[in-house]
Structure 1
Amino acid sequence: MTQPATGPDAGEAGPQSPEETPESPTAAAQPPAPAGPPSPGAGTSARNRRGEPRTYDFRRPTKLSREHVRVMQIAQESFARQATTILTTFLRAGARLELVSIEQFSYDDYIVTLPDPVFISTFSLEPLAGKGLLAYPLDIAMAVVDHMLGGSGSAGQPNRPMTAMETTITNHLLNRLLDEFATSFGPITELQPALLGHEYNPQLAQAAAGSDTVMVATFTMAVGSREGEATLVLPFSSFAQALNNAASPQLSETALAKRKRAAEALSARLNLVPVDVSVRFAPLTVSSADLLSLAVGDVLLLRHPPDAPLEVTTNDVTFAYAIASNHRRRLAAAIVPTPYAAAKDSA
């Protein structure tokens, strides 16, 4: 029996020796290897580069566009910088607030992410509708009070609602933070936020309806040796128009001039648009039976007063009054003052 050869075939190219150059006959005789199908690993790496699939809920479509996120990021990062300064100054200790992400949630989906208990502050957004919400861990809130009273904040903090004195001290800091919040959002819209109250159970913090879309900015919050996650929640519907205005690019002088000329041309052409106009008596109401029984020769009483003017209408909208007349053997309508104005002048 002949043993089958296990080495490379004579017609196949083996490993190139250091002495063999591309110019050698052996190398020149080798045809290029055909491109085979991609290996399974190549497709996997391509999918990894594109990222994992994400769930999309068609009942709650995405409303926060990339431009909205960019505008919000600028405002929230500005607020985080100012809040860091305020916290450091008030607490006389190391403090930090850093923006992590800005996402869209329904209010119900956001609430279930909060621990219980948690320190929640709600505030108004005048002149906009709706409420804002600021939430951060309760132990950090108690440590803030400890620092403001001269303590170190490193001791164990109570896991309970704040007392009246602790709430008053916290409100002083939160009102200062809301002032910085309004300043940071000034380029987007004018705000006059006002603190409304506090809550410790997320299910009792009624800042929005459960299905409302909210924008959630997540921060890393550190006070002394304590670190946690803080969230600032704003209703999307209240900020939608302001975000659209802020996200639109600023027009150049040339573009503004073109837009102005287009508006002037449009206004000039509107004066030449034909409009259907009707002159009619006061409408008459009849029953269906009377309408179906009408025959040639029947008379309908219009019940229009003989001295009352007719209505001049377009698209069922009355904009003037007239009396029947004639002009060069044609029926015409002479415009007269509004009856209500005439009655007012006579009175």
Structure 2
Amino acid sequence: MTRPDNGPAPSGRSRRGEPRTYDFRRPTKLSREHVRVLQIAQEAFARQATTVLTSMLRAGARLELLGIEQHSYDDYVAALPDPCFIVTFTIEPLAGKGVLAYPLDVAMAAVDHMLGGSGAAEQPSRPMTVMETSITRHLIGRLLQEFTASFAHILELQPELSAVEYNPQLAQAASGSDTVMVASFTIGIGPRSGEATLVLPFSSLQTPLNNAASPQLSESAQAKRRRALEALTERLTAVPVDVGVRFAPLEVSSEDLLSLDVGDVLLLRHPQDAPLEVTTNDVTFAHAIASNHRRRLAAAIVPTPASGQHPAHAPAQKDTA
């Protein structure tokens, strides 16, 4: 059974638009929400790794995310070239291991650059010497630090380099049937480029991914939000608000307005039995009638008049005293 591919894949796997085998015994577990969360983390890792590679190798370098896919570990290993530079690392506090793999000639070119070379010469296709491995371990350590920072919004990881392999069949980071998340990158150092992959076990990261995709607040965080809401509500009830009581508004023509003079009188046309408007910020929120309270002018709130009983906005008439 085949289905269209949903995105770029590492070498050896189908490309965009090409069909690939779908195993109904291993249904897709990586949801759109998971991919979205992982993409944010992997893109951040690619940006920071580019900076690390450029500064440590003193050469133009790049790491660009191509896509994220789900595979069985067996299928992933079968697609890797032999030999290949493969690093396995722990992902404490989670179980399982991660894998970082990229072409061996790119890894050798990186060593050449760190030893002062140009990296342009043809690189040997052999396992690294003890010194070359030591130099490369320092670079991988820096990359794992950036990996930790990029995944901090998902989970606080403490990765540790486990082993370096060159034969994919010897890089046993998971069982063959285990589902893994494969992030594919384009890696380039100077004129040399290839395809890198960063692999993580799905079973270990499933719960953190679910939490990151649909974050659930802890009890302490929920209690903190409740206290903040209560404090905000309490303070809002004590905020002073300017309130005015006014007659019904008038409409005045520009000619009458400009011709007003001292002593002129504007007829309000406010019915005697119509309540006044109680307003704040030019919004009417109640009605009242003029009153007094302990020898002070006051406004007694009354029911809002029914629609149609409001005084009409009749044009104002000017009179002279």
Task: Report the TM-score, using the length of structure 1 for normalisation.
Answer: 0.57
Mapped to 2, the partners of 1:55 and 1:115 lie a distance apart of 20
Mapped to 2, the partners of 1:168 and 1:55 lie a distance apart of 40
Q: Choose which of 175, 197, 218 in structure 1 pairs with 2:184.
A: 218
2:87 is equivalent to residue 109 of structure 1:
no
Q: Choose which of 165, 173, 184 in structure 1 pairs with 2:131.
A: 165
Question: Which residue identity is paired with 2:191?
Answer: S
Q: Choose which of 89, 110, 113 in structure 2 pairs with 1:123.
A: 89
Q: Give the unaligned 5+ runs of structure 1.
A: 1-50, 261-347
CA shift for structure 1 position 206: 0.3
Q: Choose which of 55, 63, 68 in structure 1 pairs with 2:29.
A: 63
- The DSSP-based 3-state class of the residue aligned with 1:172 is helix
2:145 is equivalent to residue 179 of structure 1:
yes
- The DSSP-based 3-state class of the residue aligned with 1:150 is coil
- The DSSP-based 3-state class of the residue aligned with 2:79 is coil
- The DSSP-based 3-state class of the residue aligned with 1:99 is strand
Partner of 1:196: 162
What are the Cα deviations for residues 60-94 of structure 1, in whole angstroms up to 9, with x where unaligned?
A: 01100000000000000000000000000000000
CA shift for structure 1 position 213: 0.1
Partner of 1:83: 49
CA shift for structure 1 position 238: 0.6
When residues 202 and 225 of structure 1 are mapped into structure 2, their CA distance, relative to the original with a 3 A threshold, is: same
Mapped to 2, the partners of 1:86 and 1:231 lie a distance apart of 17
Partner of 1:227: 193
CA shift for structure 1 position 57: 1.6
Partner of 2:113: 147
Q: Choose which of 197, 208, 223 in structure 2 pairs with 1:242.
A: 208
CA shift for structure 1 position 197: 1.0
Mapped to 1, the partners of 2:147 and 2:41 lie a distance apart of 9
- The DSSP-based 3-state class of the residue aligned with 1:134 is strand
- The DSSP-based 3-state class of the residue aligned with 1:194 is strand
Question: Which residue identity is paired with 1:144?
Answer: A
CA shift for structure 1 position 56: 3.1
Mapped to 2, the partners of 1:143 and 1:54 lie a distance apart of 34
What are the Cα deviations for residues 152-206 of structure 1, in whole angstroms up to 9, with x where unaligned?
A: 0000111100000000000000001001100000000010000011000001110
Mapped to 1, the partners of 2:186 and 2:216 lie a distance apart of 33
CA shift for structure 1 position 250: 7.0
Question: Which residue identity is paired with 1:210?
Answer: G
When residues 111 and 54 of structure 1 are mapped into structure 2, their CA distance, relative to the original with a 3 A threshold, is: closer
Question: Which residue identity is paired with 1:212?
Answer: D
When residues 61 and 183 of structure 1 are mapped into structure 2, their CA distance, relative to the original with a 3 A threshold, is: same
Mapped to 1, the partners of 2:153 and 2:215 lie a distance apart of 14
Question: Which residue identity is paired with 1:122?
Answer: T
Question: Which residue identity is paired with 1:79?
Answer: F
- 1:264-275 alignment to 2 at 5 Å? none
Task: Report the TM-score, using the length of structure 2 for normalisation.
Answer: 0.62
- The DSSP-based 3-state class of the residue aligned with 1:156 is coil
When residues 105 and 156 of structure 1 are mapped into structure 2, their CA distance, relative to the original with a 3 A threshold, is: same
Mapped to 2, the partners of 1:179 and 1:117 lie a distance apart of 26
- 1:283-322 alignment to 2 at 5 Å? none
Aligned residues: 205
Partner of 1:41: none
CA shift for structure 1 position 58: 1.4
Q: Choose which of 99, 102, 123 in structure 2 pairs with 1:136.
A: 102
What are the Cα deviations for residues 99-144 of structure 1, in whole angstroms up to 9, with x where unaligned?
A: 0000000000001110000000000000000000000000000000
TM superposition outliers: structure 1 runs of 4+ over 2 Å: 51-56
Mapped to 2, the partners of 1:157 and 1:52 lie a distance apart of 33
Partner of 2:229: none
Question: Which residue identity is paired with 1:175?
Answer: G
RMSD: 1.8
Name the structure where strand makes up a greater proportion of residues: 2
Mapped to 2, the partners of 1:132 and 1:189 lie a distance apart of 14
* Higher Cα Rg, which structure: 1
Q: Give the unaligned 5+ runs of structure 2.
A: 1-16, 227-321
